[in-house]
């Protein structure tokens, strides 16, 4: 598979998102700007379907016990981590998505927005801004690590 496609797919995935897509792209020799742009685009792709369809899809699937257990677990786990968003709403959502740590990011931010009833017109731009900022943070963080390793090696 082409590195550009793998970068998009990694950025779209709920576990890897930008945290893995950007360093993967760089490891494939992709320039930093293209890696950033593809990772941000890939990370944003799942947001619209999540914000628009998570409610109806989860409501339908929760009629079946295994899915009900899954959504109960996922939603309660997500709500425990959503205090920042509860307090600051859209601004909190930007901050929550922008922090490149496990269980933060566009996927979890979309779920938090759904669970807290943040309307699409506020949630979507907040998540996009959070993704843009997360991409910068991840890029700068990895650049700092690479420069430190190069410095140590000389």
User: Which burial class, exposed, middle or buried, applies to 91 when counting CB atoms under 10 A from its CB (0-12, 13-18, 19+)?
Assistant: middle
Q: What is the pTM (predicted TM-score) of this model? A: 0.90
d(CA 110, CA 91): 14
Q: Are 134 and 99 in contact (CB under 8 A)?
A: yes
Using alpha carbons only, how large is the chain's radius of gyration in Å? 17
Residues 6+ apart with CB under 8 A from 110: 46, 47, 50, 51, 54, 123, 127
Spell out the per-residue pLDDT of the chain, length 154, in tens.
Answer: 999 999 999 999 999 999 999 999 999 999 999 999 999 999 999 999 999 999 999 999 999 999 999 999 999 999 988 988 999 999 999 999 999 888 889 999 999 999 999 999 999 999 999 999 999 999 998 888 777 777 776 6
Q: Where are the domains of the chain?
A: 46-153
């Amino acid at each position: 598979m082409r590195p550009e496609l793998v970068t998009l797919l990694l950025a779209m995935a709920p576990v890897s998102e930008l945290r893995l897509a950007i360093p993967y792209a760089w490891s494939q020799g992709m320039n930093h700007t293209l890696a950033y742009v593809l990772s941000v685009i890939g990370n944003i792709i799942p947001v619209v379907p999540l914000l628009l369809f998570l409610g109806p899809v989860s409501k339908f699937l929760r009629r079946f016990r295994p899915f009900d257990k899954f959504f109960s677990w996922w939603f309660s786990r997500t709500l425990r981590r959503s205090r920042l968003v509860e307090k600051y709403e859209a601004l909190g959502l930007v901050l929550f998505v922008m922090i490149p740590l496990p269980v933060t990011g566009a996927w979890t931010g979309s779920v938090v927005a759904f669970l807290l009833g943040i309307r699409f017109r506020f949630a979507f731009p907040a998540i996009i801004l959070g993704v843009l900022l997360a991409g910068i943070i991840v890029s700068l963080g990895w650049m700092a690590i690479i420069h430190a390793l190069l410095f140590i090696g000389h």
